[in-house]
Amino acid sequence: MTDLLTAARMRSIEHAAIESGQVTGLELMERAGRGVVEAVFAQWPELARSDHRAVVLCGPGNNGGDGFVVARLLRQWGWEVEAFLYGDPDRLPPDARTNFRRWREMGGQVRDVREQPAMPADLMVDALFGTGLARPVDDPALWEWLWLIDDAIDAASFDAPAKTVAVDIPSGLCADSGRVLGGVPEHGRRAPRVMLTVSFHAPKLGHYLAEGPAHCGRLALADIGIGAFADAGEGGRVRLIEARDFTGAFEKRPDAHKYGHGHALILAGGPGHGGAARLAARGALRIGAGLVTLGCPPEAHLENAAQLTAIMVRRIGDAVALGEVLKDPRFNALCLGPGLGGGDEARALVRAALASARPVVLDADALTAFAEDPAELFALVRANGRVVMTPHGGEFARLFPDIAGKLAAPAVKGPAFSRVDAARAAAARAGAVVLLKGPDTVIAAPGGECAVNSAAYEREAPWLATAGAGDVLAGFITGLLARGFPFSPMQAAEAGAWLHVECARAFGPGLIAEDIPEELPRVFRALQRRQEQGGRPGGGPQAG
């Protein structure tokens, strides 16, 4: 399990390590700087094979101290290094001031950031602010540097462009939310995009949320020897969902019976609107539900039956009919929303489904139908107690306009309001597991449990931006809920979201929604092979 840390929790872990007497702050700074250099050489081995030139930008805090360690180590390697300081050296924190002095004692010069570099650089190191930044970068002199660092991304096709690396996190980015503090001004840039970000001990929330992945480039972790203090600090934990979380979870016993893996019921809309529900039903069946039935209005029965084989079709014209169907206890998980339609009929179906006390997935139209009175929906959801809501950004804003408004407001100080904050607040209000969709999908439970399913870095899956992909996700979660143990609503949402991305990655370019369920067998086999080999499944940053 990988925890995504807030800046405050990381400080608590470091403080606990120092207070234990097992390590000093100066030793941690040395380890951090060395970890940056090692990660740079691992990313670009050619830089370790000969002398090069580096520009290191050092800030007024401990991040700047890390930068002076990097400068010193590169100079010892034989590099030409120019170090620039933003701030007064006499006001540096003690450990950073010590490393500033060590740099000067070995003959290193320190220039003001308002000066221009005297030489072209093969490597530019951003050690200006790191995770502790709480306000926007408002100095135009720094914008010029940040813009120069950012330009290296766009110049990657030119001859010998400078490689760029950020220490801990690109300066100007909020470590807790992944948002650029202050936004992007008309001229200049308040946070650069870099090619490599080297963080310490554990990844931070901002590496995975919002603009974080686009700014961080590739993410590497440097072990600075404080793992024994990982439980220090307060605040609700946020997990990064990884393959290792699902060891053995998707297997079926050799003596398994179809009814031993549940019967999922997916409700569809009227004629011409059944495609979304059929996608959800296919997802539920492929992910392992023993049986899946698609319920639809009588006038849509033939249309759906003509396109389905292993999935059964049943006439369910209204909430009364749904109540009759649910007298059969073998239906043990429901999905409402994909192509359901709106209005009074949709609301009545949702009320009947939630009153059945079965696990329910609410998506799309089932959420929008209550946009005028979300309080009624939340009351029904809390009474049920086993609900997963899967809104995209627009649906989330209709149900939680005040929370969405806080998320949309400019990030003027840190820690900025984040998608984790938004999902947790929504889950607490609704009394449901809330899955807030996006490349940085956040899943939160009413009690505060939270996880992030990231489609960034080595798990990028841009092909999921296709019509119907969300309907398949709703079906995945419903199928897992039908299977039951070990899939609680939170676990089903996590596993469904993780598999959704893995299927997209397995297929690649050209993906359409119909392809997603068909990739599940390949994904399951790959997961089984990794588990049998005992290897570390992917999903997190590389070790530096």
Quick check: is 405 in a domain?
yes
Q: Which residues contact residue 402 at a Cβ distance below 8 angstroms, ignoring those fewer than 6 apart?
A: none
Per the domain annotation, does 244 fall within a domain?
no
Q: 3-state class of 356 per DSSP?
A: coil
Range of the domain at 447: 258-534
Q: Which residues contact residue 174 at a Cβ distance below 8 angstroms, ignoring those fewer than 6 apart?
A: 133, 180, 181, 206, 411, 414, 415, 416, 418
What local confidence, expressed as pLDDT, does residue 119 receive?
76
In a shared domain, residues 48 and 7: yes
CATH of the domain at 281: 3.40.1190.20
CA neighbor of 388 nearest in space, from 445, 447, 451: 445
| Measured CA angle at 328 (ends 295, 304), to 5 deg | 15
End of a domain among 207, 238, 269? 238
Residues 487, 373 share a domain? yes
Q: Are residues 216 and 266 in the same domain?
A: no
Residue 241 C-alpha from the chain's centroid: 8
Let me know whether 223 and 321 are in one domain: no
Among all chains, which residue has been given the structure tokens 């990381």? 10
> How far, in Å, CA of 209 to CA of 453, rounded?
10
Q: Is residue 328 part of a domain?
A: yes
Q: In this structure, are 140 and 211 located in the same domain?
A: yes
Q: Is residue 332 part of a domain?
A: yes
- Residues 292/263, Cβ–Cβ less than 8 Å: yes
DSSP for residue 173: B
On whether residue 543 sits in a domain, the answer given is no
pLDDT at 117: 81
φ, ψ at 313 (rounded to 5°): -125, 135
Task: Look up residue 6 and give its amino acid.
Answer: T
DSSP state of 5: B
| Judgement on whether residues 220 and 321 belong to the same structural domain of the protein | no
Same structural domain, 372 and 452 = yes
> How many domains are contained in the chain?
2
pLDDT at position 544 is 54
For residues 181 and 153, membership in a common domain is answered with yes
Cβ–Cβ contacts within 10 Å for residue 403, how many?
19
Q: Are residues 279 and 160 in the same domain?
A: no
Residue 132: helix, strand or coil by DSSP?
Answer: helix
Whether 298 and 233 share a structural domain: no
DSSP type of residue 180? B
Helix pair angle (419-430, 374-384), 10° resolution: 70
Within this chain, do residues 485 and 410 fall inside the same structural domain, yes or no? yes
87 plus 233 within the same structural domain: yes
Q: What does the pLDDT read at residue 383?
A: 97
Structure confidence at residue 168 (pLDDT) = 98
Q: Which of 187, 204, 238 is the last residue of a domain?
A: 238
Residue 537: the pLDDT is 46
What's 182's domain CATH number?
3.40.50.10260
pLDDT averages per 10-residue partition of the chain, 544 residues: 93 96 97 98 94 95 98 97 96 98 96 85 95 91 89 66 94 96 79 96 97 97 95 86 88 78 96 97 97 98 96 97 96 97 96 97 98 97 98 98 97 95 98 98 97 97 97 98 93 98 97 98 92 63 61
Residue 159 C-alpha from the chain's centroid: 34
